[in-house]
């Protein structure tokens, strides 16, 4: 037990080092890209003020923002603020970036978690069905559906769902995370869930196909293995084989893939949130991009890097817990 705790600590430490260096690299690259881009934060700031500014005032502002300093100096300045927990202030929302990220992330997390569970559940189940009926009609039909869904863009699918379920059928709200005209404090959890269903479903469509097709292939490999041949020789029927050997052997790759899909999920949430006007990180990042809100953009970039990294780290840690071969070897 002590050994495995020590091992966990070691893995954790290695990951922290890796993650820190990655975050540093991402911060350098994104900072450099923003510095080189035609985005002018000063102009944006002034526009946001809503009043006219004299050239002297503008100079003052430029001085305050350090426009004339060399980029390296500005980067170091920004980084040192960042390390103290100051992500700066959003030009668009006029609030600290950290607050916006925190608030938006909760919304996004709810959405992504729902989509993640849905896509994992649906994908794994469909994958198992396809694998069991490989080459037969259930497999053929489901495979076609998977191919169609994976070749359709998410935002378009989102629009279609919105059109059918919200506009024509009126089953679900058109957008937002809570009803319009209701105070934040009065919104119930059911109302939030109700607003979540359609965007979450759209988002899950993005990644369940991947998991389904992958699971199908893995299951097919397992069913062709020698140990399944022996299981059949011992009189095990197809469903017993799935229960005793199939699930056990395909769970690990499916779980890994599921956690690795964090990145896709995050990318997909940008589109889904925009289509459904859902106030999450995804819609914030596109708003920040379109409105040249540099502090918010950089903040979200770093945050999403962290988010995806954590997903991958969880997948790697789970590997060791689920797969006894890896567990024993590393002990």
Partner 1 sequence: MEQKKETLLEIHDLSISFRMYHQGLEQKELQVISDLYLTIYPGEIVAVAGSSGSGKSLLASAILGLLPGNATVHGHLHYQGQELTPERQRRLRGREIALVPQSVAYLDPLMKIGPQTDGHEKSRSPERRRQLFARFGLPEETEGLYPFQLSGGMARRVLVSTALLTDARLVIADEPTPGMSLDQALEALGMFREMADEGRAVILITHDIDLAFEFADRVAVFYGGTTVETAPASDFKKGPEALRHPYSKALWSALPQNGFHPIPGFQPYPGDLPEGCLFAPRCPLKTAECTAAVPPVQEIRGGEVRCYHGT
Residues at the interface with partner 1 (CB under 8 A): 225-227, 229-236, 240, 244-245, 248-249, 323-325, 328
Beta carbon of residue 229, minimum distance to partner 1 (angstroms, whole number)? 6
Q: Which is nearer to partner 1, 14 or 136 (CB)?
A: 136
Nearer to partner 1, 240 or 277 (CB): 240
Q: Report the half-sphere exposure of 231 (CA within 13 A, side-chain side).
A: 18
Nearer to partner 1, 132 or 281 (CB): 132
Nearer to partner 1 by C-beta: 222 or 296?
222
In whole angstroms, the minimum distance from the beta carbon of 224 to partner 1 comes to: 9
Q: Which residue, 85 or 235, has its beta carbon nearer to partner 1?
A: 235
CB of 162 to partner 1, least distance (A): 43
Nearest approach in angstroms of CB 323 to partner 1 is 7
Give min distance, CB of 241 to partner 1, in A.
9
DSSP string, 45-112: HHHHH-S---HHHHHHHHHHHTTTS-HHHHHHHHHHHHHTT---B-TTTSSBHHHHHHHHHHHHHHHH
Q: What is the CA radius of gyration of the chain?
A: 24
**Least distance to partner 1, CB of residue 230, Å:** 4
Tokens of 228: 């399944």
Nearer of residues 192 and 232 to partner 1, judged by Cβ = 232
> Least distance (Å) from partner 1 to the CB of residue 30?
42
Report how far apart, in Å, the C-alpha atoms of 292 and of each of 25, 90, 125 are.
22, 10, 43
Q: State both tokens at 255.
A: 């779980």
Q: How far is the CB of 222 from partner 1 (least distance, A)?
A: 9
Q: Which is nearer to partner 1, 153 or 238 (CB)?
A: 238
Would you give the DSSP letter of residue 174?
A: S
Q: Would you state the structure tokens that stand for residue 47, as one six-digit string?
A: 């526009």
Q: Is residue 278 classed exposed, middle or buried when 0-12, 13-18 and 19+ CB atoms within 10 A define those classes?
A: buried
State the sign of the Cα–Cα–Cα–Cα dihedral 211, 214, 220, 221.
Answer: negative
- Residue closer to partner 1 by CB (options 10, 248) is 248
Residue of 289, 274, 310 whose CA lies nearest to 154: 274
């Amino acid at each position: 037990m002590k050994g495995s705790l020590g091992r966990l600590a070691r893995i954790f430490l290695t990951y922290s080092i890796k993650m820190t260096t990655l975050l540093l690299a991402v911060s350098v690259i994104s900072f450099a890209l923003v510095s080189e881009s035609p985005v002018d934060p000063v102009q944006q700031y002034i526009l946001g003020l809503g009043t006219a500014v004299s050239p002297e005032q503008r100079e003052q502002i430029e001085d305050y923002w350090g426009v004339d300093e060399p980029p390296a100096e500005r980067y170091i300045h920004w980084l040192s603020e960042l390390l103290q927990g100051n992500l700066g202030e959003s030009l668009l929302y006029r609030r600290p970036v950290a607050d916006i990220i925190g608030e938006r992330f909760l919304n996004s997390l709810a959405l992504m978690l729902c989509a993640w569970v849905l896509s994992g559940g649906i994908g794994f189940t469909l994958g198992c069905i396809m694998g069991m009926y490989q080459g037969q009609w259930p497999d053929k039909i489901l495979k076609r559906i998977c191919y169609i869904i994976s070749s359709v863009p998410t935002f378009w699918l989102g629009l279609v769902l919105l059109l059918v379920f919200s506009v024509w059928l009126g089953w679900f709200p058109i957008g937002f995370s809570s009803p319009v005209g209701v105070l934040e404090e009065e919104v119930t959890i059911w109302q939030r869930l109700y607003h979540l269903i359609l965007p979450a479903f759209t988002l899950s469509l993005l990644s369940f196909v991947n998991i389904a097709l992958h699971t199908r292939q893995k299951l097919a490999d397992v069913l062709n293995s020698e140990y399944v041949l022996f299981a059949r020789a011992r009189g095990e029927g197809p469903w017993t084989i799935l229960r005793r050997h199939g699930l056990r052997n395909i769970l690990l790759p499916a779980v890994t893939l599921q956690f690795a899909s964090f990145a896709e999920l995050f990318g997909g949430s940008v589109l889904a949130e925009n289509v459904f006007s859902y106030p999450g990180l995804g819609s914030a990042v596109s708003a920040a991009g379109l409105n040249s809100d540099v502090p918010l953009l950089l903040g979200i970039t770093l945050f999403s890097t962290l988010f995806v990294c954590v997903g991958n780290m969880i997948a790697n840690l789970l590997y060791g817990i689920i797969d006894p071969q890896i567990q024993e070897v590393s002990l």
